[in-house]
Amino acid sequence: MIGLILGTSEGKKILSMLNEFTEDIFVSTATEYGASLLENYRYRYMNDKPLDFDKLVDELKKRNVTALVDASHPYAVEVSKNAMEACNKLNIEYIRYERPSCIEKFKDEPKVIKIRDYSAFKSELEDRNIKGTILNTTGSKSLGDILALKLENRIVYRVLPSLKVLNELHNRNIALDNIIALKGPVSYQLNCAFIREYKAQAMLLKDSGVEGGTLEKIRSCLDCGIYAFIIERKRANYHRVFHSVEGLVEYIKDVK
């Protein structure tokens, strides 16, 4: 059986192409919402809850998975770490699908700044004397990292419009005026509108690839004359990694 850890929009395409020759598939998503997006595809088993290392090992053993495709988000570092270790423990082939980066074309833009992690963000703002509003588009999971910086800037958080996320922001005393609840990806025009509406001086974003709306974010920042600060991806040594769905599925088809 093929195992799939899905955490990006490419999950539908991966499943659709695999369904051309098999439905002997175990799918794992982190949320019920993620699972609901895959209801029209064929698979044997679905897990819709987060799995820690031990639970992942149990599921892979129970489902007799022989190859695991990790198509989690590029920033889901712990998920990939657990998946690689579980495969190593069970002698299962680990295959990584990672959506391509799209930020290299902006390497010569002085207002496009790559930073290693959230802790470096504060000093970057201070070095450039940026005291105005920041649009944070890195998601609710970064909330603790941002608050820990104790920035004096106004931070506007663009997050998923889910009850769980909004409750978390409420519990952290984030003012309603500083919340944009909207499912992405967001168009270039709407990004520009947010920048102008909130008079933002910078945007904080991830290198989430074309599918994650990264190009639109960066281009809107440049055209509006503000800084784009990009949290870099953490690099891992994958034994076998694919950056195209077609290449991934062709490989699985050959080895199945």
**Which whole number is the average pLDDT over 153-177?**
95
All structural domains of the chain: 2-100+235-255 (3.40.50.720), 104-231 (3.40.50)
pLDDT value at residue 41: 94
Q: Is the pLDDT score of 173 beyond 90?
A: yes
Planar angle of CA 90, 239, 75, nearest 5 degrees: 90
Provide the pLDDT for residue 254: 83
pLDDT of residue 121: 96
The more confident residue out of 180 and 184 is 180
What's the mean pLDDT in 194-218?
Answer: 97
Q: Express each pLDDT in 107-139 by its tens digit.
A: 999 999 999 999 999 999 999 999 999 999 999
Query: CA 27 to CA 72: how far, in whole Å?
Result: 12
pLDDT of the residue at 89 = 97
Looking at residues 157-177, what average pLDDT do you find?
95
**pLDDT score recorded for residue 239:** 87
> Tell me, what's the pLDDT at 256?
65
Q: What percent of the chain has pLDDT over 70?
A: 100
- pLDDT reported for residue 31: 86
d(CA 170, CA 166): 6
Residue ranges of alpha helices (H) inside 23-76 are 32-36, 53-62
For 143, phi then psi, to 5°, come to -55, -45
pLDDT digits (tens, 9 = 90+) for 235-252: 888 889 999 999 999 999
Inform me whether the pLDDT recorded for 181 exceeds 90. yes
Contact criterion met (CB below 8 Å) for 256 and 2: yes
Task: Inform me whether the pLDDT recorded for 255 exceeds 80.
Answer: no
Q: What band does 149 get if pLDDT is binned at 50, 70 and 90?
A: very high
Q: Alpha helices, DSSP H only, in the chain?
A: 11-18, 32-36, 53-62, 77-90, 121-127, 143-148, 163-171, 188-197, 214-224, 245-255
What's the gap between Cα 237 and its chain centre? 19
166 half-sphere exposure, CB direction, 13 A CA radius:
11
d(CA 136, CA 206): 10
Would you say residue 75 has pLDDT above 80? yes
* Residue entry with tokens 């657990």: 82
Helices and strands counted in the chain (H then E): 10, 12
Measured CA to CA, the distance from residue 11 to residue 5 in angstroms comes to: 9
Mean of the per-residue pLDDT values of the chain: 95
